[in-house]
Amino acid sequence: MMRKMNKLVLCLSFLLLPFAVKAQATQGKFGYLSYNAIFQAMPEYEVSRQKLAGLKSKYDKEAQRSEEEFQRKFAEFLQGQKEFPENILLKRQHELQDLLTKSIRFKEESQKLLVQAEKDLQADMLYLLNEAIRAVGVERGYAYIINTDGNTCPFINPAMADDVTNYVKEKLQLPISVEP
């Protein structure tokens, strides 16, 4: 009786082996994509680029105006410095120093504001893209989806992974790339 049980268990093991191998193979299924390529294909991306360029242009114009004001006052200072009494000379030097300091601060602050504006403009797009990637991962049963940007993953065996770029683009209703 014990021998028959052992044979039965052994036979069942051999019968179930293909199912175990298939289950193990599908557990590690993963996808990959270029996050930046999809992000930049979104129509909102170009809109955000244009808004950011407009904002940058305004900051640049103000910085230019400030620089021109400094140069004008500096030229006036140089022309009149020999004729100014000492207290006026010191006052003008302080004014020039203040203008220079304010100009530097404005440039630094405008850089910070541009970075924050870019984050704000792109926040909704990033959310949509991440949700589309998550949905594709869940629907297609991927354990994970790898971002191949920045050469972080120089080789992916195509037999073991799927390029999910077009699936994500489909979710976002973007034009699908045709493979050569």
Mean local confidence (pLDDT), 63-84: 92
Question: What is the identity of the amino acid at 19?
Answer: F
Q: How confident is the model at residue 23 (pLDDT cuts 50, 70, 90)?
A: very low
Q: What is the pLDDT of residues 110-140, one digit of tens each?
A: 999 999 999 999 999 999 999 999 999 999 9
Its pTM stands at 0.72
Q: What is the pLDDT of residues 162-179, one digit of tens each?
A: 999 999 999 999 998 776
DSSP H stretches of helix in 141-159: none
Element of type H or E holding 85: none
Mean local confidence (pLDDT), 44-63: 96
Predicted confidence (pLDDT) at residue 17 exceeds the cutoff of 70: no
CB 66, CB 99: distance < 8 Å: yes
